[in-house]
Structure 1
Amino acid sequence: MEVLRNLGDAPCVGHALVALVVILLIALVGRLLARALRQPVVIGEVVVGLLSGPAVIALFGRGALNVLLPGSVLDVVRLVAQAGLVLFLVGLAHKLGVESAARRGGSLWVVAGALVPPLVAGLLLAGLVLLTGDDSARGSAPLPAFLLMVAVSMAITAVPVMARILADRGMTRSRAGQTALGAAVVVDAVGWLLLSLAVSLGKGSPEGMLHSVRALGLGVLCALGLRYGLRTRVARSACARLPRTTAVLLGAVALVVAIAMDRLGMTPILGAALVGFAIPAGEGMPWEDAVATVSRAGAILAPAFFVVTGITVLTGSFTDTSWQLIVAALVLGCLGKGLGSYLGARRGGRTPATARKVAVLMNTRGLTELVALQAGLSAGILTGPLALALIVMALTTTAMTGPLLTLLARGEHRPAGARLVAARGAVSGGREFHRGEH
């Protein structure tokens, strides 16, 4: 209610609009830097957005940040960031639908390799936190919710970032690209279900869990009703004739469901995911353009989410997060995803070269990981220090994807070049021998 009252304050709204313009300019700088470094543009947006708040504090002090973003303005920016995140997730969840997964043709063995070992790696990381007695990283969440949340955080793969990497490198139709993208779609769909379970377990008491189950059941029923309505001939015809109006209505429905889930004690992210899953996909369904419009609107506002996350998480967690925890998260993240995906691809009949590329691609986490971490933070399951360690892991593994793919490509081309040089040498030597004979 306080945020709604702030929306009626003209100076506050004007200040928030200026702040949002500055945030979008910061995101533009991040995109330019990412392109210069040959990284996905979302990496630049994420890194620059996350570090902008801590950078202001480091250079000018906390007072300067409070002047630039006072509490009332930060609340408005946070509201806009959450709305943008909800709209973006509608498109992401739509991509993770069953029909999309079937079209991608993911391998069952790759899915198992990219899901089970990372979950085990997450349990190992959670066990390490428990064994070291790091109270700042452990928090007070119920143990089952804590274990499951950390495990899910290690298993997530960023489908949008991976798709962008594949498109930039011309790998969309390659065997490795199709295998990795198909597996990532299935893994993230399972991940969202496990995330919902972790949030429910986070209630701690049987009454709280029962309330979460009821809220989740209500959300699922609403999603099924929306899916049935969108499959009708009237809805399909209206979408085909009025795609922009349909996009506005879909966005409004997603925001309403997200707010309802938040009021029921669940994360609004789950409401957005349910709406995205409910939108029909496949032949004869005209929803793709409308969903893409909603997702683009969310992507425009997403940089505000990175800035708010940086201010609320990074500014208070640097001193409480140990380097050992960051290193452990990074090592376990790479081993779980990389080694598990490689073994799964090999067991599924892929060549060693293809399996290596699949392993590198599946280690891409990016924005999707940040969304999952935000859900864990808002539910009180993850603490700031542990979330910071996982954020560093997510950004590092995503930034590694492009350079590692380049190294693999060079390694594949080098033997061919060596063979060509050897063949030329043999031909040249044969010619000299024949000249000597004559």
Structure 2
Amino acid sequence: MTDVLLRAGHIVAVLAVVLVAAYAGRLAARALRQPEVIGEILAGILVVPVVLAVGGAPALAVVLPTDVVSPLRVIGQVGLVLFLVGVAHELRHGGTGLGARAVGWVTAGSFLPALFTGLVMAAWVVWVADPELRGDAPTPALVLMIAVALSVTAVPVLARVLEDRDMVESPAGKLAMAAAVVTDSAAWVLLVVAVGISGGLVVSLVLLVLGVTVTVVGRILLRGRVPMSWAERFPRATAAAISALALLVAFQFEHWGLTTVFGAFVVGLAIPGGAWAGAVRPVMSFGRLLVPVFFVVAGMGVANAPRGSVPWSAIAIALVLAIVGKIGGGYLGGRLAGRDRRTAVTIGVLVNTRGLTEIVVLQAGYTAGLLSVRLFLALVVMALVTTAMTGPLLSLIERLGASKRASVPESPENRS
């Protein structure tokens, strides 16, 4: 009994440290005018390297022993599932009122070129890079995984950036958000296929169909007057029921061979809007609170991996291709949609935001054995750098636009 209490106290203490570190990371990110999630991710991932740097492997064994890491892994998964339920629910509200043609061009521009640059990087990894970087994943699964990794845009982080900069109702902001919603939806499906290739494609496709069926049927049933009124009258009980159902479905799909991410999306997409939104919001908030624990476990996996040289070439190639695919593709899509150059560049910068969604995708690929630890590290660095670029690049666009307007001489008509 004493051992159980000591272990429980140890877990609670580690959780407290992680949550405090995440809070400090959010404050630091806010001070630097970066999305808060950047601070959360770095704080979570750096916990293990800091412990190793201070006390070495013996200290890490004391702070994070195996019987503590296992519960932490489950807690991190719980937080991730609950958070993604909210993300999936918000993905259903991507309307912009800007016309299907404009949204279509921007979506195609922000997704297809990035997918192509992902294929280019995959070709380099498979045919040129050293075997340690490539790993031992099946080639089709690895290629699709890297392509997905370079094509993702983080809807939650993008929404935060647009809100912080008062760009939610701007043409560039609305088009970028619409494109991100469609892009992420396609990316999650491709991720399921990539994981399925390595674990049994036929079974995964059957489970994909099952998930879609559950989503459609659940949405029809929950739209009824009785469940809608119940959600409106008892939001806390509804939130608890949603959480329990999401965890049950997510871990069941993982047991069947897919990721918990897919199960979380099945539940999130099945929940309609209206009164249900008030019940989903606390579920997402609680999940966001626990997500840093997920990053600590991910950071431990990277820190405990076999030592090797930092994959600088992979980091550089991933960064260049990711930026070209997203900023260049978003700019092209914006121009084809009839937007001016400044708006098109802004769209490209916005869809280059990867953040938490990218980290989740990479962790899913790493857990499934599709990414080696060195390739995982290179893509994590790419995700953090491209997300951190968003704020400074938007500020630069604003300054250039302001200086250009100031340099234009006033016309006689305006002077009169």
Provide the rounded CA distance (Å) in 1 between the counterparts of 2:167 and 2:202. Answer: 46
Q: Does the alignment pair 1:274 with 2:274?
A: no
Q: Residue 9 of structure 1 aligns to a residue in which SS? A: helix
The separation in 2 between residues aligned to 1:308 and 1:396, in whole angstroms, is 21
Amino acid at match of 2:355: G
Question: Which amino acid in 1 is paired with 2:20?
Answer: L
Tell whether 2:20 aligns with 1:31: no
Residue 357 of structure 2 corresponds to residue 368 of structure 1: yes
Alignment partner, residue 202 of structure 1? 198
Contact in 2 for aligned 1:159/1:181 (Cα 8 Å): yes
1:46 to 41, 52, 65: 41
SS in 1 for 2:94: helix
Name which of 164, 172, 178 aligns with 1:176: 172
Deviation at 1:375, TM superposition (A): 1.1
Indicate whether 1:80 and 2:69 are aligned: no
Deviations, residues 240-273 of structure 1 (Å, cap 9, x unaligned) = 1001111110111100001111111111111001
Secondary structure at the aligned position of 2:33 is classed as coil
Q: Residues 117 and 390 (structure 1 numbering): CA distance in 2 closer, same or farther, change over 3 Å?
A: same
CA distances 1:151-171 after superposition (whole Å, capped 9, x unpaired): 001000011111111111111
2:279 corresponding residue in structure 1: 290
| SS of structure 2 residue aligned to 1:38 | coil
Counterpart of 1:254?
246
Q: Distance in 2 between matches of 1:95 and 1:184?
A: 12
| Matched residues, number | 409
What secondary structure is seen at the aligned counterpart in 1 of 2:262?
helix
Q: 1:318 to 1:118 in 2, by over 3 A?
A: farther
Distance 1:89 1:341 in 2: 25
SS where residue 147 of structure 1 aligns? helix
Matches within 5 A, 1:148-187: 148-187=144-183
**Structure 1 position 218, deviation (Å):** 3.0
Shift of 1:230: 0.9
Aligned counterpart in structure 2 of residue 135 of structure 1, from 106, 110, 131:
131
Whether the 8 Å CA contact 1:27–1:45 is kept in 2: the answer is yes
Residue aligning to 1:379 = 368
Instruction: Give the counterpart of 1:108 among 104, 107, 110.
Output: 104
The reply to whether residue 390 of structure 1 matches residue 379 of structure 2 is yes
Structure 2: which amino acid aligns with 1:198?
A
Structure 1 residue ranges without an equivalent (≥5): 1-5, 428-438
CA separation in 1, counterparts of 2:209 and 2:169? 38
Q: In the alignment, does 2:398 pair up with 1:409?
A: yes
| AA at the equivalent of 1:188 | D
Looking at structure 2, the residues matched to 392 and 166 of structure 1 have their Cα atoms a distance apart, in angstroms, of 23
When structure 1 is superposed on structure 2, of 364-373 and 286-295 the one drifting more is 286-295
Structure with higher Rg: it is 1
Q: Does 1:220 align with 2:201?
A: no
- Paired with 2:138 and 2:374, the residues of 1 have a C-alpha distance of 17
Q: Distance in 2 between matches of 1:130 and 1:295?
A: 38
Question: CA 1:58 to 1:143, structure 2 compared with 1: closer, same or farther past 3 Å?
Answer: same
Question: Deviation string for 1:163-210 (max 9, x for gaps)?
Answer: 11111111111111111111111111111111111111122xxxx222
Q: 1:366 & 1:318 partners in 2: Cα distance?
A: 26
Give the counterpart letter for 1:275 in structure 2: V
Give the letter for the 2:363 counterpart.
Q
Partner of 2:288: 299
Q: Quote the Cα distance in structure 2 between the aligned partners of 1:384 and 1:153.
A: 15
Aligned equivalents of 1:33, 1:197: Cα separation in 2: 37
CA separation in 2, counterparts of 1:118 and 1:126?
12
- CA separation of 1:35 and 1:102: change in aligned 2, threshold 3 A: closer
C-alpha offsets along residues 356-385 of structure 1, whole Å, 9 cap, x if unaligned?
100100100000000111111121111111
- The answer (yes or no) to whether the contact 1:54–1:315 under 8 Å persists in 2 is no
Instruction: Say if 1:54 and 1:104 are closer, same or farther in 2 by CA, change over 3 A.
Output: farther
Contact residue 107 and residue 179 of structure 1 kept, 8 A: yes
| TM-score normalised by L of structure 1 | 0.90
Q: TM-score, normalization: structure 2?
A: 0.94
CA shift, 1:51, in A, is 1.4
Q: Distance in 1 between matches of 2:230 and 2:208?
A: 30
Percent identical pairs in the alignment equals 46
Contact 1:337 1:363 (C-alpha < 8 Å) held by counterparts:
yes
Checking the alignment, whether the CA contact within 8 Å between 1:43 and 1:399 is kept in structure 2 is yes
* Contact kept? 1:334, 1:363, Cα under 8 Å: yes
- Residues 149 and 376, structure 1, Cα contact 8 Å, conserved in 2: yes
Of 53, 57, 63, 2:58 maps to 63
Distance 1:350 1:71 in 2: 55
User: Is the contact between residue 104 and residue 182 of structure 1 (CA under 8 Å) also seen in structure 2?
Assistant: no
State the alpha-carbon separation in 2 of the partners of residues 417 and 222 from structure 1.
Answer: 56
Contact 1:109–1:347 under 8 Å retained in 2: yes
Q: Which runs of 5+ in 2 are unaligned?
A: none
SS in 2 for 1:61: helix
1:358–1:346 CA distance, 2 compared to 1 (3 A): same
* Residue identity in the other structure for 1:32: L
- The Cα of 1:96 is off from its aligned counterpart by 1.6
